[in-house]
Chains A and B, each alone.
Chain A
Amino acid sequence: MSADPFAAPPAANGRAPDVFKRGGWVPMRQYGEDEAVDFAVVGTGAGGGPLICGLAEGGFSVVGFDAGPYFRPLEDFASDEREQDKLYWTDERVVDGANPITMGGKNSGKAVGGSTVHFAMVSLRFRPEWFKSRSALGYGADWPLNWREMWQYYTKAEKALSISGPLSYPWGPKRPRYPYRAHELNGAAELLARGAEAMGLKWTPTQLATVSAPHRKSPPCVYRGFCRFGCSTNAKQSQLVTFIPRALQAGAEIRDLAMVGRIEIGPDGRATGVHYHREGRWRFQKARNVAVAGYAIETPRLLLASATDKFPDGLANSSGLVGKNLMTQSNQAVFGTMAQEVRWNKGPPSLSITEHWNYDDGKDFAGGYCWMAQGPLPVEWVTIQTSSRGLWGQALRDEMEKYNHQVGLKMVGEMLPDECNRVTLADQKDQYGLRVARVTYSWGDNDKALIQHALGQMQTSLEAVGATNIFRQEDDTNHLAGTARMGDDPATSVVNADCRSWDIPNLWVCDGSVFPTTGGVNPSLTITGIAMRTADRIRILAARGEL
């Protein structure tokens, strides 16, 4: 094994880890702290990664900060659920509300590449109407983006991430072929397909960011099934092995194990750089622009913590909306037992999907959802058994023994924006001396109606394939969004369509926080598409002298 990536920042001394080679290095340009870089980007995940890359390739000087380390998957990732907790953001956060969000696992990452290092790779496009959900569908809020433009950015993102997907997609407007062929189905995915067909619903192999054939230095996926605990072969097209290496080649610097704690604002009300903690002390990097890409908890936390006399309620917060309208997605599931051996841990966990209820508007609630096949590993599976059924003792052991016969369907559902669901600062401080985030969340009536509808549908599907001993996981959530929404009106949004804050012209937000609504699909491809668009827009604005 190599040196401990946590012991000292691996990206230093003019080089960064070569993610494709054990013990290898690639050259990395470095910038002085007193030398104002064009962009300081806080976060290197699905939003930060493409932004850093796009800006560097556009000729800007860029430093990307990440609070986590720079891993080499080939040697740093064990094939083990517990060990890979090291990929998560497990710093303390206080949760409350009627339905507190379980943080720390799948909805957060602390590593170069962010949570794409452990995401399930599901790479879906939004339904076009969701970009205008208020005017087209009557709920939520309109986005300032045009779906046709986003459709082009989805295509670009799918190419950049070598997405494997079906030849034709059953829902929505036409889209080009996916760059890589779809993966074969495992037993769990096949059972989703059979159940959907029995109900008269369409299904498809899921679009996934893991390659089904070689791509540059990435070998094809070998179906280990540990995707959500880091891919140790580099088949997964995380930011760590795609946009970040490209960014380095284009002259960007990645500063790892660097926690940004405050954005500095000059006397003219513009951002002048970031204060960050690295190697035991606070430092300051000068920058002409600051882009925050820390996701829906850390982004508002940083904006709120950077309050000044001029901006007493936090930065970019004249609308009062920073931290508000936090959305998660409903992630309930139904599980059952099959007579056959399913062995659902083999392969990526979500190899098939039905988006039927994202595109069918004959429902008595707002929003949509999809469901996907499942393959939880033992620790996650015991957590589902205990939290959903209250099992312990011998009864739990007996149920766990059926592991290889289990089947399950899990939803990704749209929750509606609500200003009461929000991120604020608690009084408690973390290891950097920064106030921790307080995350307040309660489900609304519409959220509950959508969840119950989905649970009923998924249960019907499992019954149709002969599953027995069926039970529901009623309480689970996953992806995050909101807290710095984009819009056309400075009074009702934090940033504009270019992810530029209304209040501070050289402060940008580029991650899932900008979502006004969250849709019924996994958000990463949309975050990446928006980040690629933002980089393009910044180039255009710079060329016009409008930065």
Chain B
Amino acid sequence: MADRYPGYDVLSKRWTESWNETTRQVIDRRLSVPRQARFFSAAEWRTLSAVCDRIMPQPKDRPPVPLPAYVDQKIAAGLLDGYRYAQMPPQGEAWQRGLAALDRAAQDAHGGRFHVLPPDQQDGLLRRMQQGELTGEAWGGMPCKLFFERRVIPDITQAYYTHPVAWNEIGFGGPASPRGYVRMGLDRRDPWEAAEANTGERAHARRKNNRVG
């Protein structure tokens, strides 16, 4: 269902009891992430952006969540996962090698770099990566399946769901401190939670969502 929570904007709660000062600062920093690469080269950035567009396609009627910037920021800031598969290089090296290998595979299969291919060919390559079917020297021994599962997917999709726009789409309440929740049972909604639009009730849901702040 498109627009399941019409008019819901978690940011409208910014000055309510659901957000404390610490949280406001954290979200402000997230929204103002620099949109330029600090770690990746311009060529890598183009490939990365194209991968992000297929892993997490975004509606055209709003500014996109800057996914390549979050991937870049994590590496540049040295934020680690806490573990590394023995077959995988460190995260920055894994990304550089994986993006280069993906471009190599795109050249071999379709005669152009990944970012210039049509979406169905891009998806085909990503599916082959997911299935562990991309091989060759460019991977340097890194299993493409592990790269997909442990770098591409978490780094992109997790970044997306740290963003308030994503919370709006799924009706998540977002920050909740110091105020938490009161109505706990099934089919119970606190007035500061997103209201879902059921058939014929879109206007009603929109009115409720305009009042969550």
Contact = CB atoms under 8 A, between A and B. Distances in A.
Contacts of B116: none
A78 B26 contact: yes
A221 B187 CA distance: 21
A103 B160 CA distance: 22
Interface in A323-377: 338, 340-343, 345-347, 377
Nearest to B22: A78
Contacts of A103: 81-83
Contacts of A346: 173, 180-181, 183-184
A35 interface: no
B184 A186 contact: yes
Contact of B177 (A81, A233, A383): A233
Contacts of B187: 187, 340-341
Main secondary structure of the interface of B (DSSP, over half): loop
Given A93-B84, A224-B181, A225-B181, A79 B176 contact: yes
Interface string A56-83: 0000000000000000000111111111
Main secondary structure of the interface of A (DSSP, over half): loop
Contacts of B123: 393
Which has the most chain B C-beta neighbours within 10 Å: A82, A381, A390? A82
A346 B183 CA distance: 9
Contacts of A226: 176-177
Contact of B175 (A1, A78, A221): A78
A104 B172 contact: no
A232 B20 contact: yes
Contact of A379 (B162, B178, B185): B162
A465 B137 CA distance: 51
A326 to B, nearest CB: 14
Nearest to A394: B57
Interface residues of B, number: 62
Contact of B196 (A187, A225, A341): A341
Nearest first, the 7 A-B pairs at minimum CB distance are A104-B82, A222-B180, A103-B83, A79-B175, A224-B180, A79-B177, A403-B170
28 contacts: A1-B25, A76-B22, A77-B177, A78-B26, A79-B177, A80-B26, A83-B26, A85-B79, A88-B82, A92-B83, A101-B83, A104-B82, A186-B184, A222-B181, A224-B181, A225-B180, A226-B177, A232-B178, A345-B172, A346-B173, A346-B180, A346-B183, A392-B54, A392-B130, A392-B153, A393-B123, A402-B170, A438-B86
Interface of B: 1, 4, 18-23, 25-27, 30, 54-57, 79-86, 90, 123, 126, 130, 149, 153-154, 157-158, 160-162, 166-167, 169-189, 193-194, 196
Interface of A: 1, 75-83, 85, 88-96, 100-105, 108, 184-187, 190-191, 221-226, 232-233, 338, 340-343, 345-347, 377-379, 381-383, 386-387, 390, 392-394, 396-397, 400-404, 438-439
